[in-house]
Amino acid sequence: MTETPAGAGAPRWSAPCGTVIGRHDGPVDRATGIRYARAGRYERPQPAAAASSPVHATEPAPACPQPPMPFLDEIVGSNIGDLPQDEDCLRLSVTVPAGTPADASLPVMVWIHGGSYAAGGGDAPFYDPAALVAEQHVVVVSVTYRLGLLGFLGNGEDIPANLGLLDIVAALRWVRENIAAFGGDPGSVTAFGQSAGGDAVAHLMVVPQARGLFRRAIIQSAPFGLLRGRARMSALMAATAAPLARDAPLEQVRAVQQRVAQAAVRHGLKGQMPFGLQYGHDPLPAEAELDTAWREAAPHVEVLVGHTTREAALFTARIPPLLSRMQHPRRARRVERLLITPFTRRLYGRGAERFAQRHAQAGGTGYRYEFSWGVGRNPVAGAHISELPLLFPGHDVWERTPLVEGHTWEQVLSDGARLRRAWADFARGGTPRSDPRAGLRVLPLTGAASSR
């Protein structure tokens, strides 16, 4: 794409947050790195005041400081690409179809990135929403929020818990107040996210401060099987981090975050995603009240909830002996039967089905989906994050990853267009349809339990 730097011909928006100057980028216009809130270390986010001078929104939002995550780096080349890291990271980016007028009232999709609540950034290159925006004529807002020790380990006493979730609520408030100036409809907002991002979207439904800030939710591969019974692990992690000074330099924060994560390993599967939301701390209900809260929220939010059919393949492929077996058809069937299928069901599938069933029983509407694109083409096809190359096919990002092996890039783009259409149809209030070429199976929600 050809980008135009900020200047006389650059796109300009007059919003309550101030005058925003962005840049043209081929078929889309972008305003990147806009501040939506401010917060000191371990402080709750406070809305950003309107800017008195023009905001030059041409640089990406910095990622929250984070230690390396070699596992994701191996799959996608680099977890955050060349993004800078900055503790002052409460920023968002808006992508709109080029030339969108302020009165367009387009559907708005707010992207919450994943990364186990410990890694990633809203403007990471493999979340580029340009194709989704240009093809489907929607507005996408990409949110960056605090992670790890800085966002998800407070004990609720001297350090608040769930700061990263409060950041996302602040971003949604910014969207409600400002997005009309960019051509978006503040009454038609869909929150969507994958993995930890999907988990955050699901829990935003029960956050009182978020009620009415979004109308629809797309919950992709939320690790429902890891959510309950985390209080003891969180307490151990907080105790491990306690000696860290509140004003410790970031390198020390990163080092302690790695030690904290290691301390959680003794808690089994939950310890593989040690950072996360803490129930009973603002803004979340107690764990025992969670089902009731989701039932009460169901009539207010339409959902599309689901998972990939081989989520666990991404994690088994990390283990060289298992990866070797996955590359041989006869041995692969055994790995599939003993590991991939049961762990996919335990950590993702069963929880998604229960979420959908409870939502329907409580008067909510929506759909459940399964994603299986590419299964049979390579060992990690249909694995965790495998829908992301189709949703966000940024140039020179996914082409060399194992997730798309066995396909030409033209197939990724054309099949992805079908998935992007399904997601956007839902965001428009329409019906997302099953599409074999996109590996997508969609079912309307019912109160009946799955027979699978």
Residues tagged active-site: 195, 311, 384
Counting beta carbons within 10 angstroms of the beta carbon of residue 234, is it exposed (0 to 12), middle (13 to 18) or buried (19 or more)?
buried
d(CA 176, CA 188): 10
- DSSP helix/strand/coil, 298: helix
In the structure encoding, which two tokens stand for residue 92, read together? 């968002």
* Helix runs in 205-346, H state only: 231-241, 250-263, 290-297, 313-316, 320-326, 329-335, 341-344
DSSP-derived pairing of the beta strands 12-15 and 18-21: antiparallel
Query: Under 8 Å CB-to-CB from 302, ≥6 apart: which residues?
Result: 215, 216, 217, 364, 365, 366, 426, 429
User: What is each CA distance from 417 to 127, 190, 385, 389, 421, in whole angstroms?
Assistant: 15, 19, 17, 11, 6
Nearest alpha-carbon partner for 307 in 222, 193, 405, 395 = 222
Contact 28/96 with Cβ under 8 angstroms? yes
d(CA 144, CA 164): 9
Give backbone dihedrals phi and psi of 265, rounded to 5 degrees, phi first. Answer: -60, -30
In whole angstroms, what is the distance from residue 421 CA to residue 133 CA? 10
What the block records as the tokens of 349 is 């599938």
DSSP per position, 407-422: S-HHHHHHHHHHHHHH
Q: Are 227 and 417 in contact (CB under 8 A)?
A: no
- Omega of the bond prior to 379 within 30 degrees of 0, cis? no
Name the one residue in this structure whose structure tokens are 């680099």.
Answer: 78
178 close to 205: Cβ distance less than 8 angstroms: no
CA atoms within 13 A on the CB side of 35: 18
